[in-house]
Amino acid sequence: MSLSAYEDLVHELTRLDADTNASTAQATRQLERRRESLREVRSELDDQMMGLAELCARLRHTTPDLTPVHTAEEEGASPARQTNPDAVLERAKTALREAELARTATTRSAQRPTLLPKAHHVLRELVVYGSSMVACLAVQLVYFAATGGDDDSKWWVTFLLPVMATIIGYVLVGMANRPRLPLLDRSGKPIKAVVPHNPRLGVTLAVCTIAVVLLFAWF
Query: DSSP string of 123-155?
Result: HHHHHHHHHHHHHHHHHHHHHHHHHTT-STTHH
Q: What confidence tens digit (pLDDT) does each residue in 13-22 have?
A: 666 666 576 6
* Cα–Cα dist 189/156, whole Å: 48
Which is it for the CA torsion 91, 92, 98, 101, positive or negative? negative
Higher pLDDT, 115 or 186: 115
The rounded distance, in Å, linking the Cα atoms of 85 and 65 is 25
Three-state SS at 190: strand
User: Picking from 65-69, 195-199, 206-210, which range would have the lowest pLDDT averaged per residue?
Assistant: 65-69
CA–CA distance, 59 with 12 (Å, rounded to integer):
69
Calculate mean pLDDT across residues 81-96: 73
Q: How confident is the model at residue 203 (pLDDT cuts 50, 70, 90)?
A: very high
This prediction has a pTM of 0.60
Residue type, 142: V
CA separation for the pair 192, 179 (Å, rounded): 11
Where exactly are the structural domains of the chain? 3-110, 121-218
pLDDT grade for 24, boundaries at 50, 70 and 90 = confident
pLDDT tens track for 90-142: 777 787 788 788 877 877 777 788 788 888 888 989 999 999 999 999 988 88
Torsion sign (Cα): 18, 19, 22, 27: negative
